[in-house]
Amino acid sequence: MRQDLRMESTTRPRDLSLLPKAHLHLHFTGSMRPTTLLELADKYGVHLPDALTSGEPPKLRATDERGWFRFQRLYDIARSCLRTPEDIQRLVREAAEEDVQDGSGWLEIQVDPTSYAPHLGGLIPALEVILDAVDSASRETGLGMRVLVAANRMKHPLEARTLARLAVRYADRGVVGFGLSNDERRGMARDFDRAFAIARDGGLLAAPHGGELTGPASVRDCLDDLRAARIGHGVRAAEDPKLLRKLAERGVTCEVCPASNVALGVYEKPEDVPLRTLFDAGVPMALGADDPLLFGSRLAAQYELARRHQGFSDTELAELARQSVRGSAAPPEVREKLLTGIDGWLAG
Question: What is the rounded distance in angstroms from the CA atom of residue 266 to the CA atom of residue 140?
Answer: 37
Question: What is the rounded distance in angstroms from the CA atom of residue 29 to the CA atom of residue 314?
Answer: 31
Give the domain extent around 76. 2-347
The domain tally of the chain equals: 1
> Do 29 and 113 form a contact (C-beta atoms < 8 A)?
no
Pairing of strands 230-233, 253-255: parallel
Task: State the pLDDT at residue 131.
Answer: 98
Catalytic residues: 212
> Do 260 and 287 form a contact (C-beta atoms < 8 A)?
no
Task: State the pLDDT at residue 54.
Answer: 76
Question: What is the rounded distance in angstroms from the CA atom of residue 235 to the CA atom of residue 167?
Answer: 27
Task: State the pLDDT at residue 289.
Answer: 98
pLDDT band at 184 (very low <50, low <70, confident <90, very high): confident
Span of 98-102, 141-145, 152-156, 306-310 with lowest mean pLDDT = 152-156
Task: State the pLDDT at residue 3.
Answer: 47
Task: State the pLDDT at residue 251.
Answer: 97
pLDDT band at 65 (very low <50, low <70, confident <90, very high): low
pLDDT band at 1 (very low <50, low <70, confident <90, very high): very low
**Mean pLDDT over residues 277-305, rounded?**
97
Instruction: Give the CATH number, domain containing residue 164.
Output: 3.20.20.140
- The answer to whether residue 8 scores a pLDDT higher than 60 is no
pLDDT digits (tens, 9 = 90+) for 147-159: 999 999 999 999 9
Task: State the pLDDT at residue 58.
Answer: 66
- The answer to whether residue 2 scores a pLDDT higher than 60 is no
The β-bridge partners of 207 are: 179
Per DSSP (E only), the strands in the chain are 21-27, 104-111, 144-152, 175-181, 205-210, 230-233, 253-255
Q: How buried is 35 (Cβ within 10 angstroms: 0-12 exposed, 13-18 middle, 19+ buried)?
A: exposed
**Mean pLDDT over residues 338-346, rounded?**
98
Task: State the pLDDT at residue 53.
Answer: 85
pLDDT band at 21 (very low <50, low <70, confident <90, very high): very high
pLDDT band at 313 (very low <50, low <70, confident <90, very high): very high
> Do 281 and 235 form a contact (C-beta atoms < 8 A)?
no
**Mean pLDDT over residues 16-32, rounded?**
98
Q: How buried is 133 (Cβ within 10 angstroms: 0-12 exposed, 13-18 middle, 19+ buried)?
A: buried
Question: Full-prediction pTM beyond 0.85?
Answer: yes
For the chain, the average pLDDT equals 93
Task: State the pLDDT at residue 178.
Answer: 98
Question: What is the rounded distance in angstroms from the CA atom of residue 148 to the CA atom of residue 80?
Answer: 21
**Mean pLDDT over residues 77-94, rounded?**
97
Task: State the pLDDT at residue 145.
Answer: 98
Question: What is the rounded distance in angstroms from the CA atom of residue 170 to the CA atom of residue 163?
Answer: 11
